[in-house]
Structure 1
Amino acid sequence: MAAADGGEVSAILRDLESLKASKSEIELRISALEARLQEINLQQPNGAVSNGSCAPLPSSVDSGYGHDLSPQMIYRYSRQLLLPSFGVQAQSKLLKSSILVVGAGGLGSPALLYLAACGVGHLGIIDHDVVELNNMHRQIIHTERFIGQPKVRSAAAACRSINSTIQVVEYQEPLRTSNALEIMSKYDIIVDATDNAPSRYMISDCCVVLGKPLVSGAALGFEGQLTVYNYNGGPCYRCLFPTPPPTTACQRCSDSGVLGVVPGIIGCLQALEAIKIAGEVGEPLSGRMLLLDSLSGRIRIVKIRGRSLQCVACGENTTFSKLQFREFDYENFTQSPLTPSPLKLNLLQADSRINTKEYKEKIDDGKAHVLIDVRPEHHFKIVSLPNSLNIPLPSLEARLPEISLALKENEENRGVNSELYVVCRRGNDSQRAVQSLHKLGFTSARDIIGGLEAWARDVDPNFPTY
């Protein structure tokens, strides 16, 4: 058989890519048509459903077996029905329940999959974000073919694929005080799968105003936690945290990292708590908090303080109303943004800063300089600019002699004065470092605006980001 030439190989590759693209498009159309058919089936005979609303579940029908489960339902949920403490009664309640999951990320992914699989009648998903490649290691509800598409669309398709008999409602928008009351009032139980302080306060306050139980989870690094708020006289989020923690203590996965399986564990447990509440089984984690330390393999359940009579949201003399909720500024209250946009500080004058393109010109012109990278050492090991010196910000003052030596050696080797630049991941810590250096005598130090992310965006598109 004759060997294929380069032209034939190129043609095969083109055809292969074309077929893959067509396959993805067809799969998306199939998912959309199946979802539409499901909506039509659920709407009969109760009429049309407006966008973003919960259609009534089909009326209970006596199957002749002493309950309202059809033969298909019995077979689908048989392993749950076999549990004496769950059985037909809890399954029927679950099928009639409605649960809203706020966030389709690391926590929301497993929570949504298990809630759909276990038979929650109405499942709402709210998220304004799109699927990205760096979501894949933990947000297991999404697949690569949905990269660039809305997370709610991806999550809803996965839920419908695993259980076509439930209703899944998509809200492709951020949850705000302007829409939270309307959306959350349609559901029996709320699952908070967000990762920021203003959202936690807002969701909790809204649950208090509406009288909804809240299943709250969090995961960061190798640790996670879980509790149930505003349930059976238990505390709300404000009862435990009347004053927001400092912004330096409010880390997100995008800043501090997270082992993918950790939010998976907490998300599964969130689904479990929501199912227990909906099915009225077991002992939900109200007044108690589960703490996970994944590295040591330890899980602890600790008692948390009860409902505070002085709580602004749920206390005895509270006047917190729907109107006050709508007007409350949660971003100002927590000093944190609702959206996960990176922090952008502006601490320095223009003459103490240089953009990445200007710095690239310095390199190309062979200008004598020293580049200090003030990221943590484990960040530096991921990726760095050539010839940069890693001195993490906390150790900057203690390592000033190294900076002085680097500048001196550079000047001796090049025979000219050496310039000093500072870089970090996003251009925030580098500004702090330059401020410190100016106070310590290095008055010519300059910050590289936007850090390595700006370098990747504006200078070298192949430079890795994380």
Structure 2
Amino acid sequence: MNAEDLNRYSRQIKLPGFGISAQEKLQKARVLIIGCGGLGSPISLYLAAAGVGTLGLVEFDNIDLSNLQRQIIFTSNQTGESKLDATVIRLKELNPTITIEPHKAQISAKNALEIIDIYDVVVDGSDNFPTRYLINDACEILNKPLVYGAIFQYEGQAAVFNLNGSATYRDMFPTPPPPEMAPNCAESGVLGSLAGIVGSIQANETIKIITGLGKPLSNQLLLLDTLEMSFRKIKIKPDAERQKPTSLIDYDVFCGITSNSEIEISPEEFIEMKSQNDSFTLIDIREEYEHEAFNIGGINIPMEEVLEQIDTFSGKIVFYCGSGQRAKAIAKKLRKSHNEDRFYALKGNLNLF
């Protein structure tokens, strides 16, 4: 290390048991962070600041105003920009000595093994069950340690999987919950500071794995309740009889999620609908301030009010939001509750329309 490195990392080098040897391990490490959102923000900031030599980032989404409450790596004037591009810029500003490897893609069964294979540790910043099972299986196949985190409303979880033969995500959750029992942040809400707490824990566990310091959260699940400010641990045992994955599968099907092809409308399809004067009601399900800041037309009914008012509309209904996720969730829920296929969601970021 040079004089600048010694100065930059001096506060952690001085730690008992840390020293230059631990810092050099960090600088040689290659860590992959999947997701640059609520969890990915603190994970990437703290690992970059700590001096992890190479950080891989996987992200495909754009920044929405509703992200900023918890995705602290972004600023208001970056709304609509690529999360990946904005994260790369911020991390290089924070620590120009490290290497950033961006992967502008949605992690999938087609690319997961290829992307994950070149890293030492994988950190899961995703927010849905299909992706969690996908990442877990890929890490188990490639024998990579996985640092897990999840947040929901006021509660969070963290664990380390597949470390030297320790338990995996599938040992903890052998089967996924029904889709209707797995709401996301857009539907159920989340405390922004919770993402910071859990993401920081994940960054901390990653540093411990790389340096060999302390005892990682392997074979145990850390549970956090921010309202009670309580922490507790649950032991997880590896299932010796569980069949290990040898290949990746269709995780949407595994988690009981039906195809979105009939529900989602692409920008091209939407433009064609408008040009042909196809009869439909366009509803923006974002909050009023979001609609006023930028919209593509239609009426504004916030997500929590849609279910109460939907029966006042007849015919085809197209929902939209900032990224398409909330719109897709509402369209799916209404198709199921009304047993009708007249509900659709615009696919993609608003800037595409």
The 1:430–1:114 alpha-carbon spacing in structure 2 relative to 1, beyond 3 Å, is same
Question: Is the CA contact (8 Å cut-off) linking 1:221 and 1:253 kept in structure 2?
Answer: yes
Are 2:34 and 1:102 equivalent residues in the alignment? yes
Question: Which of 69, 77, 82 matches 1:150?
Answer: 82
C-alpha separation in 1, matches of 2:342 and 2:193: 35
The aligned residue for residue 439 of structure 1 is: none
Q: Label 1:71 to 1:427 Cα distance change in 2 as closer, same or farther (>3 A).
A: closer
Could you tell me how far apart the structure 2 residues matched to 1:337 and 1:84 are? 52
Q: 2:50 aligns with which of 102, 110, 118?
A: 118
- Counterpart residue identity of residue 310, structure 1: E
What is the Cα deviation at residue 84 of structure 1?
A: 0.6
**Residue in structure 2 matched with residue 311 of structure 1 by the alignment:** 242
Residue 188 of structure 1 deviates from its aligned partner by 0.4
* 8 Å CA contact 1:214, 1:231 repeated in 2: yes
1:189-239 CA-partner distances (Å, limit 9, x unpaired): 000100111111111111111111000100011111000000122111112
How far off its partner does 1:355 sit?
4.0
- Give the Cα–Cα distance (whole angstroms) in 1 for the partners of residues 28 and 282 of structure 2: 59
Tell me, yes or no, if the aligned pair for 2:153 and 2:189 is still in contact at 8 Å.
yes
- State the distance in 2 between where 1:450 and 1:179 align: 29
Q: Provide the C-alpha distance between the structure 2 equivalents of 1:154 and 1:109, rounded to a whole number of angstroms.
A: 11
Return the match for 2:304 from 360, 379, 385. Answer: 379
Aligned to 2:289: none
Structure 1 residue 421: Cα displacement: 5.2
Aligned counterpart for 2:250 among listed residues 320, 324, 329: 329
> Could you state the TM-score of these two structures normalised by the residue count of structure 2?
0.78
Residues 310 and 100 from structure 1, CA distance in 2 versus in 1: closer, same or farther, beyond 3 angstroms? same
Match of 1:167 in 2: 99
Match of 1:91, SS state, is helix
Match of 1:194 in 2: 126
Q: 2 CA distance for matches of 1:189 and 1:337?
A: 31
Given that residues 106 and 138 in structure 1 are in contact (C-alpha distance below 8 angstroms), is that contact kept between their aligned partners in structure 2? Answer: yes
Alignment CA distance shift 1:421-1:120 (3 Å)? same
Partner of 1:363: none
| Bigger Rg, which one | 1
Between 285-294 and 423-432, report the one with greater CA deviation.
423-432
2:178 is aligned with 1:257: no
Cα root mean square deviation, aligned: 3.2
The aligned amino acid for 2:74 is H
Would the aligned equivalents of 1:217 and 1:270 in 2 still touch at CA under 8 Å?
A: yes
Residues 139-171 of structure 1: CA deviation (Å, up to 9, x unaligned):
111122332222111111111110000001101
Q: Which amino acid aligns with 1:95?
A: Q
Q: Distance in 1 between matches of 2:80 and 2:282?
A: 28
- What TM-score, normalized to structure 1? 0.60
Aligned counterparts of 1:357 and 1:153: Cα–Cα separation in 2: 31
Against the structure 1 CA distance between its residues 162 and 239, is the aligned structure 2 distance closer, same or farther, given a 3 Å change threshold?
same
Equivalent residues of 2:263, 2:343 under 8 A apart: no
Q: Is 1:292–1:299's contact at 8 Å kept on the other side of the alignment?
A: yes
1:430 offset after TM fit, Å?
A: 4.5
Unaligned 5+ residue runs, structure 2? Answer: 265-278, 284-300, 320-326
Structure 1 residue identity aligned to 2:136 = S
CA distance in 1, matches of 2:21, 2:98: 18
For residues 59-458 of structure 1, the aligned pairs below 5 Å read: 69-304=1-236, 306-313=237-244, 320-321=245-246, 324-325=247-248, 328-336=249-257, 344=263, 355-356=280-281, 379-380=304-305, 390=308, 426-431=330-335, 434=338, 449=343
**Paired AA for residue 32 in structure 2:** L
Change (3 A) 1:343 1:172: same
* Structure-2 change in CA distance of 1:449 and 1:183 (3 Å): closer
* Distance in 1, Cα, partners of 2:166 & 2:258: 28
Where structure 1 has 5 or more consecutive residues not aligned to the other structure, the ranges are 1-68, 314-319, 346-353, 359-374, 394-418, 436-445, 458-466
Counterpart residue type for residue 379 of structure 1: E
- Which has the larger share of strand? 2
CA distance in 1, matches of 2:82, 2:312: 43
Shift of 1:246: 1.2
Deviations along 1:287-318, one digit per CA (max 9) or x if unpaired, are 111111111111112222x11112222xxxxx
* Cα pair distance change 1:294/1:357, threshold 3 Å: closer
